[in-house]
C-alpha cells in the first residue's frame, strides 16, 4: 500500500502531470450554448494556430475524443475516397495510422524502418518517385513508442516538391518541438490536449490547410469524425457540433495560457530538454542505458534498457516506483526488455532527480545492483578511515 496521499508524478506521455491551475479550471460547469464557453473554444483554436504560425494558411478544428479520433477524422476527411496514402512507420503509432487508413477502405502503402531508424527525406523522395499514384504521406513526428524523432522539415520539403499532401501526427511533439507552417508545408497536423501543452486528455485538434479542407465536403465516411462538418458548424454557430468536453476545453485553455506565460514553445522545449538531461545523468549513474542513439532521441520520452538481472521484473519495479510517488511507462519493444520514462508534463528537473532516486531505491529493494549503490558505499568506507 502506498503511503503517498498526493497524486503521483506521471512520467508518462499523456495523461501527464498537470498544474494546479489547470486542474482547478475543471471545477466549473459550462453550458454548451453559453457564449462565454464558446469564446473559450474560439480562443483555444486561435492560440493553437499561433503556436504553428499557421493562422493565415490553416484552420484549427478541435475534435472530441483521444488523439487517435482526431487522426482518424483528419485522414477520413482529407484523403479522397480514391486517394492513396503512404504511411511512414517506425513504431506502434505509425502502424496505428496505417491500420485506420486501411479500415476506412482507402488505399494504403507502408514504408517501415526498424524502431531505432528514422525515415529519411531520401527514402520519401525515392518512394514518391517510384509510385506516382501516392497522393498523401502520413508521418509520425516523434514516434512515442520509443521517443525517436523523424526529420519532419526535410520530409515535408520532399513531399511538397513532389506536390503530394502531408499529414503529420505531431501528437507527442506539438508545443515542445518547433513547427512553423510558413517553413514546413503540411495539409494537416494533429495533436491533442493531454500532451506537451499539458492539459487533461479528452480532445484533439487538427490544423488543416484551409484551401484543402474547403473542398472536402461529403468525403468523410464517418458522421462523428467528419472534420469538414465539425469545422463549418463551428464557424457558423461558434459551437461544437455534438456535446463538447466542456471541462477539458476549459482546462486546456488554462494550460494554453500557462504555455504562453512560460514563454511558449522555446521555453517548453528548454524545460523538457533539462528534464531529459537530468534523467539521463541519473540513468547513467544507475548504469542504465538508453535504447536510442541520443542524436535521434527527442526530449519527450526515453526508452531505457531494463537492468540485466534475473531479479528484474517490470511490474514489480513499476509498483515500487509508483509507491514512492512516480509513475513509469512500460516499454513497447519486442526485441528488448525496456521501460519508458516521459520528460513531459508540469514537472521540472527537481521532479526528475527525485524520480531517479525512487528508481534507484526500487532497484536496491529488488536486489538489483546499480553503480549508484556502490558509490555511497565507497564514500562511507573512505569516511570510516
Ligand atoms: C498519444 C499519441 C497518439 C494518440 O493516442 P491516443 O491514445 O488516442 O491519445 C497518437 N500518436 C502519437 C505519436 C502519440 O504519442
How, if at all, do strands 9-10 and 326-327 pair?
A: parallel
pLDDT for residue 32: 87
Which residue's C-alpha comes closest to atom 12 of ligand 1? 171
- The residue whose CB lies within 8 Å of the most ligand 1 atoms, and thus the one to mutate among 14, 69, 194, is 14
Give the chain's mean pLDDT: 94
Confidence of residue 5 (pLDDT cuts 50, 70, 90): low
pLDDT for residue 267: 98
CB atoms within 10 A of CB 247: 16
Q: What mean pLDDT do residues 352-362 have? A: 97
Could you identify the atom of ligand 1 that is nearest to the CA of residue 68? 8
H/E/C letters for each residue in the chain? CCCCCCCCEECCCCCCCCCHHHHHCCCCCCCCCCHHHHHHHHHHHHHHHHHCCCCCCEEEEEEECCHHHHHHHHHHHHCCCCCEEEEEECCHHHHHHHHHHHHCCCEEEEEECCCCCCCCHHHHHHHHHHCCCCCEEEEECEECCCCEECCHHHHHHHHHHCCCEEEEECCCCECCECCCCCCCCCCEEEEECCCCCCCCCCEEEEEEEHHHHCCCCCCCCCCCCCHHHHHHHHHHHCCCCCCCCHHHHHHHHHHHHHHHHHCHHHHHHHHHHHHHHHHHHHHHHCCCCECCCHHHECCCEEEEECCCCCCCCHHHHHHHHHHCCEECEECCCCCCCEEEEECCCCCCHHHHHHHHHHHHHHHHHCCCCCHHHHHHHHHHHHHHC
CA distances from 138 to 37, 82, 110, 174, 194 (A): 34, 16, 9, 16, 22
- The residue whose CB lies within 8 Å of the most ligand 1 atoms, and thus the one to mutate among 192, 200, 300, is 192
Dihedral sign from CA coordinates of 123, 129, 130, 135: positive
91 Cβ contact partners less than 8 Å away, ≥ 6 residues apart: 115, 140, 143, 144, 145, 146, 148, 332
Q: 291 alpha carbon to ligand 1 midpoint, in Å?
A: 21
Tens-place pLDDT, residues 41-98: 999 999 999 999 999 999 999 999 999 999 999 999 999 999 999 999 999 999 999 9
Q: Which domains does the chain have, with CATH numbers?
A: 9-14+265-383 (3.90.1150.10), 20-261 (3.40.640.10)
Confidence of residue 377 (pLDDT cuts 50, 70, 90): very low
pLDDT for residue 379: 38
Confidence of residue 335 (pLDDT cuts 50, 70, 90): confident
The share of the chain scoring above pLDDT 70, in percent, equals 95
Q: What mean pLDDT do residues 363-385 have? A: 59
pLDDT for residue 4: 53
Q: 171 alpha carbon to ligand 1 midpoint, in Å?
A: 6
Tens-place pLDDT, residues 121-157: 999 999 999 999 999 999 999 999 999 999 999 999 9
Residue with cell 508524478: 9
Confidence of residue 365 (pLDDT cuts 50, 70, 90): very high
Q: 77 alpha carbon to ligand 1 midpoint, in Å?
A: 19
CA distances from 26 to 6, 65, 237, 258 (A): 18, 17, 24, 15
**Ligand 1 first shell, C-beta below 6 A:** 13-14, 66-68, 93, 140, 144, 169, 171-172, 192
Q: 225 alpha carbon to ligand 1 midpoint, in Å?
A: 16
pLDDT over 70 at 1, yes or no: no
- Distance (Å, whole) CA 356 – CA 350: 10
Dihedral sign from CA coordinates of 236, 237, 239, 243: negative
What is the pTM for the complete model shown? 0.94
- The residue whose CB lies within 8 Å of the most ligand 1 atoms, and thus the one to mutate among 65, 88, 169, 174, is 169
Confidence of residue 6 (pLDDT cuts 50, 70, 90): confident
- Distance (Å, whole) CA 125 – CA 139: 14
pLDDT over 80 at 2, yes or no: no
pLDDT over 80 at 368, yes or no: yes
Confidence of residue 332 (pLDDT cuts 50, 70, 90): confident
Amino acid at each position: 500500500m502506498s503511503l503517498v496521499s498526493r497524486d503521483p508524478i506521471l512520467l508518462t506521455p499523456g495523461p501527464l502531470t498537470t498544474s494546479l491551475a489547470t486542474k482547478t479550471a475543471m471545477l466549473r460547469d459550462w453550458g454548451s450554448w453559453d457564449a462565454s464557453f464558446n469564446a473559450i473554444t474560439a480562443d483555444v483554436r486561435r492560440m493553437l494556430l499561433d503556436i504553428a504560425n499557421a493562422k493565415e494558411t490553416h484552420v484549427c478544428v478541435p475534435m472530441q475524443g483521444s488523439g487517435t479520433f482526431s487522426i482518424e477524422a483528419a485522414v477520413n476527411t482529407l484523403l479522397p475516397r480514391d486517394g492513396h496514402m503512404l504511411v511512414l512507420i517506425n513504431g506502434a503509432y505509425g502502424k496505428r495510422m496505417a491500420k485506420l487508413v486501411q479500415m476506412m477502405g482507402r488505399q494504403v502503402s507502408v514504408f517501415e524502418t526498424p524502431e531505432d531508424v528514422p525515415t529519411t527525406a531520401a527514402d520519401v523522395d525515392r518512394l514518391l518517385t517510384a509510385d506516382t499514384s501516392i497522393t498523401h504521406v502520413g508521418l509520425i513526428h516523434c514516434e512515442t513508442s520509443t521517443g525517436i524523432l523523424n526529420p519532419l522539415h526535410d520530409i515535408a520539403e520532399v513531399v511538397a516538391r513532389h506536390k503530394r499532401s502531408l499529414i503529420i501526427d505531431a501528437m507527442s511533439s506539438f508545443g515542445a518541438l518547433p513547427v512553423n507552417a510558413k517553413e514546413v508545408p503540411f495539409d494537416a497536423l494533429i495533436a491533442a490536449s493531454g500532451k506537451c501543452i499539458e492539459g487533461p486528455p479528452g480532445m484533439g485538434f487538427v490544423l488543416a490547410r484551409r484551401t484543402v479542407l474547403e473542398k472536402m465536403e461529403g468525403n468523410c465516411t464517418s458522421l462523428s469524425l467528419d472534420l469538414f462538418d465539425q469545422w463549418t458548424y463551428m464557424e457558423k454557430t461558434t459551437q461544437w457540433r455534438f456535446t463538447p468536453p466542456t471541462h477539458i476545453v476549459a482546462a486546456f485553455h488554462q494550460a494554453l495560457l500557462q504555455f504562453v506565460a512560460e514563454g511558449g514553445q522555446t521555453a517548453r522545449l528548454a524545460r523538457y530538454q533539462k528534464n531529459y538531461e537530468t534523467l539521463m545523468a541519473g540513468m547513467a549513474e544507475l548504469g542504465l542505458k538508453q535504447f536510442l542513439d541520443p542524436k535521434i532521441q527527442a526530449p519527450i520520452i526515453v526508452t531505457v534498457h531494463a537492468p540485466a538481472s534475473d531479479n528484474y521484473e517490470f511490474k514489480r519495479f513499476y509498483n515500487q516506483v509508483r509507491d514512492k510517488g512516480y509513475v513509469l511507462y512500460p516499454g513497447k519493444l519486442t526485441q528488448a526488455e525496456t521501460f519508458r520514462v516521459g520528460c513531459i508534463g508540469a514537472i521540472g528537473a527537481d521532479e526528475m532527480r527525485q524520480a531517479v532516486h525512487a528508481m534507484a531505491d526500487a532497484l536496491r529493494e529488488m536486489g538489483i545492483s546499480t553503480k549508484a549503490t556502490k558509490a555511497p558505499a565507497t564514500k562511507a568506507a573512505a569516511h570510516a578511515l
